[in-house]
Amino acid sequence: MFGLEQKSPKILVIGDLMIDHYIWGDCNRISPEAPVQVVEVKSESNRLGGACNVANNLLALGAQVYVCGVVGDDADGRWLVGALQDLGADIAYIFVDSNRPSTKKSRVVISNQQVLRVDRESRARVDSKLLQKIYENLNTLITQVDCVIISDYDKGLLSDTFTQEIISLARSERKFVLCDPKGCDYSKYKGATLLTPNKKEATLATGIEISDDETLLQAAKKLKEMCALEISLITLSEDGIGIFDDCVCKKIPTFAQEVYDVTGAGDTVIAALGFGLSAGLDIYKASEFANSAAAVVVAKVGSASATHIEIDRYIHTHGQDVGGGKLLDKIQMRDMIESLRHNNQKVRIVFTNGCFDILHRGHVQYLKQARALGDILIVGLNSDDSITRLKGEGRPINTQEDRAFLLSGLECVDYVVIFDEDTPRDLIAFLAPDVLVKGADYEGKEIAGSEFVKDVRLIDFVEGKSSTNIIEKIRSM
């Protein structure tokens, strides 16, 4: 939908680097020593948190990522740097400070529910000499990147002076600067392209209690004025993103269906915004992209990231347009397949086709079986003109738009593409799916397009179920 799969912008992430440490366990009893739960530890895992999670999200989207921050001279710091390097981030701008520990947040999770968090950190300001060294190292890099993301968790790196120096340098080079702010005083972020405060943070920073569209507008306007922002926006959790535009605050909605854990959702939003803007999207499209990425992430447990495949799947499942975002033309469909294969060479694309004039039980059962044969099911749908040629005047009963809409409403159908030819041979040759599925009545017959696929499967129909029978029954009445 966004056409960003082949984009690879250069993005610098500056901020507080940390580890999100998870302790996974079960609880079946209360301690005899105190009225607290006894957790039986089943496993432990480290994940990238804070600015590292922003970098992780960008890497998952295919950006070239440079990470800048400070870690301690300890095992946690070495793990963090190694993990970023393994993911493909440039770690040349990460500095070691032996006078402070690496930041680590340990969360105890029982049955996917976080019950306790323990923080190991220092919030003391990073030494000014080290900050000057960092700034000097960034001078040349900032001229080469497309965007700078400042991820502030108030752990000592982003002093007012240092933050302003970075913003001024980046803006003098006409680079995007996105800041995830902390605290109540946002003057340190003055001159940035945009900030990403949530509703509570924006309320604290502006002194305006956000309770409706009018107060949202007032807060967004005040943020823009007091921080000299190019774009003023406020993230609204399940309500999406509010963007100040002239005299109104436009809302870019989200459609998250399941929320398991909001940890790191803000990191995903700012990463996706930075990626989208750097790749050429305007702020509205970039916000739609960010909302979709965040919706993917909150459906997972723990700090997580979203890939283009996951974002596309989310959009195609929850989209609001005709076909719910699943209806593509053949060029879009081929680009989508190429993108899927670029990101996952083992993905198995299944194709089937038909008129699907009046959707019935036989169709649904057939399509479910077809979907089970691979990872993605594409349905080639005969156009109205082709059905008239094949079945005569009076057919189809339902238009191609209505038929596509109904097919797209089925969970087992991933994509729909309409074709105008009498057979799908040319479409199959163009898309080159892995598996072609047809009805069992094609046993022993020539199957159009079979020479362009690796595998042909035949599926039995439900006896007595067909659009033609239903139409004849209705007409006889």
73 and 193 share a domain? yes
106 and 18 share a domain? yes
Residue 162 has phi, psi (to 5 degrees) of -65, -45
Q: Which pTM was predicted?
A: 0.69
Task: Provide the residue range defining the domain that includes 113.
Answer: 10-308
224 and 367 share a domain? no
Quick check: is 313 in a domain?
no
293 and 341 share a domain? no
**Cα-based distances in Å from 293 to 306, 320, 443:** 6, 16, 44
Q: Which residues fall in the annotated binding site for ATP? A: 198-201
349 and 277 share a domain? no
For residue 261, the model assigns a pLDDT of 45
Q: What are the tens digits of pLDDT across the range 63-75?
A: 999 999 999 999 9
Quick check: is 315 in a domain?
no
303 and 334 share a domain? no
402 and 294 share a domain? no
State the CATH number of the domain containing residue 341.
3.40.50.620
218 and 126 share a domain? yes
pLDDT interval class at 257 (50, 70, 90): low
Quick check: is 269 in a domain?
yes
For residue 317, the model assigns a pLDDT of 60
Quick check: is 174 in a domain?
yes
Quick check: is 137 in a domain?
yes
80 and 190 share a domain? yes
Q: Which residues fall in the annotated binding site? A: 198-201
44 and 86 share a domain? yes
For residue 260, the model assigns a pLDDT of 46
How many domains does one find in the chain? 2
State the CATH number of the domain containing residue 14.
3.40.1190.20
Which residues are catalytic, by number?
Answer: 267
pLDDT interval class at 425 (50, 70, 90): very high
226 and 278 share a domain? yes
136 and 219 share a domain? yes
Quick check: is 317 in a domain?
no
Cβ neighbors of 270 (< 8 A, separation 6 or more) are: 54, 149, 151, 178, 180, 196, 290
For residue 111, the model assigns a pLDDT of 82
pLDDT interval class at 461 (50, 70, 90): confident
Q: What are the tens digits of pLDDT across the range 292-318?
A: 898 888 776 555 788 887 787 677 666
